[in-house]
Amino acid sequence: MTPPRTSFATGSALFLTPEEPKIGFGGGGLRSASLLAYLQNKYTVQPVTFSLRPHSRSVAARVWRNTIRLAQGRPPLFDRYSGYEHQLSAAIRGRYAVGVVEHFWCASYAPVLRTCCDRLVLDLHNIESQLARTHARAARWPASWASERFAESYQRLERRWLSQYDVILAASEDDRRRIWHRDVNPDIRVFPNALPEIPRPHVAEADAIVFSGNLEYHPNVEAVRWFRARIWPRVRERAPAIEWRLLGSNPAAVAQFTGGDTRIRVVGPVNDAVEHLAEAKVCLAPLLSGSGTRFKILEAWAAGRAVVSTTLGAEGLDARAGEHLLLADNPDDFADAVLRLWNDPALRAQLGDAGRALYEERFTWPAAWRKLEEAGGI
C-alpha cells in the first residue's frame, strides 16, 4: 500500500482533519487515512485536529442550535468546527511546504494556514451544498426546508472559501465538474475514495441482503426508511427465506424503522465490514441523497458481492448498469432488481466478479494514489 516515490515534493506538511484518519470507522476517516498515507511517503506530516467544545445532544438542544444556525446562515458542521483558530495556531511548528485541509467544514482556516504554508490543498469528501440539496429533496418537512436553506448557505460559503485554496481534491469526475462550474480559481484534481488492498473473502452466502454504513448519517437514515416502507414489504413477501441485515455504527438512529420484524436483523458495528458483506446474496445502496462516492458499494465490490443501487447511490463510480451492478430508482424496480438477483446465482456471481475487478483496477489505495499522481500529485 505504498505509493510510488517522487522527487518533486519534499519538506513537511500540515494535515488538518476534523476526524481521526482511521480504517473501520466510517467513510470520512477511511478517505482521510488514504490521503494521509499518500502524504507520509512524500513529506514529514504533522496531523492536527481539534478538541471540540462539548454540547448537548438532546433533541431540544439540537433544534435550538440549528434554529440559530439557520438564522445566521451557518450550516451545522461548518459551525461546529469553526472558532478554533487559537488551537490551530498553537499547533503550528514553523513552515510547511503544504497544508492539507480535510472536509469543507474546516475551509475557513485558510487565512491561518496561509501564514505558514507554501501551498494549500482542500480535500472535499463531499460537495456540501450538493449533499444538503439532495437531502432536501429526500427528507420530510421541516427537515427538507431546513436542508434547502443550509444548501443555500453552503453555496455562499463555497463561493467564498474554495478560491482561497491552490488545489482542491474531488472524489469523482462528477464532483470535479460541479466545482469547475462554480468558476472558482483553484486547480481541481480527482482523488477517488478507495479501500486498502483487501484479499477477496471466501465466505459462503447466507440467506441475507445487507445494508451497511453509519446508521446515524442522514442519507443512510433516509435510505433505511425508504427501503423499509416502500421496498422491503414486497421483497419479504416474495422471498420467504430472506433476512435483511443492517451493519454499522449508531443503530439506534434507525430503530424506528427496524423494530418489530423478526426478519430484520440489526448487526450493528463490526470490525470488518467486507467480511460481513461477503455473506450477503445482495448488497443494498437505496440512497436518495448524498455526494462524493459511496464506500458501501466499494466494500461490497471488494467482497465480490452483487449490488443494487439507486442511480444517485452509484454516482461517480463509472459503473455500468447490468455489468457492475443493477440500478433502480423507484420502489417496484428496486424490489424487482433485488429479487432478480436473489433468484439468479449466476447473475449474482457475474456482477460480483465484475465489481471486484473494478475495485482492484480503480478503487484500491494504490490506484487512487496513481490517479492523483497522474493529475500532478500534491
pLDDT digits (tens, 9 = 90+) for 81-113: 999 999 999 999 999 999 999 999 999 999 999
Shared domain check, 184 and 286:
no
Residue range 181-190: average pLDDT?
Answer: 80
Cis peptide, bond prior to residue 142, ω within 30 of zero = yes
- For residue 377, give the nearest of 1, 2, 6 by alpha carbon: 6
Query: Which pLDDT tens digit goes with each residue over 35-68?
Result: 999 999 999 999 999 999 999 989 999 999 999 9
Q: Is 113 helix (H, G, I), strand (E, B) or coil?
A: helix
Whether pLDDT at 8 is above 70: no
Q: Would you place residue 26 in the very low, low, confident or very high pLDDT band (cuts 50, 70, 90)?
A: confident
256 inside domain: yes
Report whether 290 contacts 219 (CB < 8 A): yes
Q: Would you place residue 6 in the very low, low, confident or very high pLDDT band (cuts 50, 70, 90)?
A: very low
Residue 24: what pLDDT?
A: 74
Find the helix or strand (DSSP H, E) in which 45 lies: strand 44-48
Query: Which pLDDT tens digit goes with each residue over 126-179?
Result: 999 999 999 999 999 999 999 999 999 999 999 999 999 999 999 999 999 999
Shared domain check, 145 and 266:
no
Locate 325 and state its grid cell. 451492478
Residue 254 gets which letter from DSSP? G
Shared domain check, 368 and 336:
no
131 inside domain: yes
Q: Would you place residue 10 in the very low, low, confident or very high pLDDT band (cuts 50, 70, 90)?
A: low
Shared domain check, 250 and 263:
yes
Shared domain check, 186 and 232:
no
Shared domain check, 147 and 94:
yes
CA distance 236 to 4: 49
Report whether 347 contacts 364 (CB < 8 A): no
Residue 23: what pLDDT?
A: 83
Shared domain check, 224 and 75:
no
4 inside domain: no
The domain that holds 176 is classified in CATH as 3.40.50.2000
235 inside domain: yes
Residue 1: what pLDDT?
A: 38
Residue range 200-206: average pLDDT?
Answer: 96
Locate 299 and state its grid cell. 466494500
Shared domain check, 368 and 351:
no
Structural domain boundaries enclosing 125: 12-194+364-374
295 inside domain: yes
pTM of the model: 0.94
Report whether 280 contacts 210 (CB < 8 A): yes
Query: Which pLDDT tens digit goes with each residue over 354-373?
Result: 999 999 999 999 999 999 99
2 inside domain: no
Shared domain check, 41 and 146:
yes
Shared domain check, 189 and 213:
no
CA distance 139 to 326: 24
Shared domain check, 212 and 334:
yes
Please state the domain count of the chain. 2
Shared domain check, 234 and 254:
yes
Q: Give the N- to C-terminal CA distance of the chain in Å, as an integer.
A: 18
3 inside domain: no
343 inside domain: yes
Query: Which pLDDT tens digit goes with each residue over 300-346?
Result: 999 999 999 999 999 999 999 999 999 999 999 999 999 999 999 99
2-11, 42-51, 230-239: lowest mean pLDDT where? 2-11
Whether pLDDT at 3 is above 70: no
CA distance 65 to 59: 10
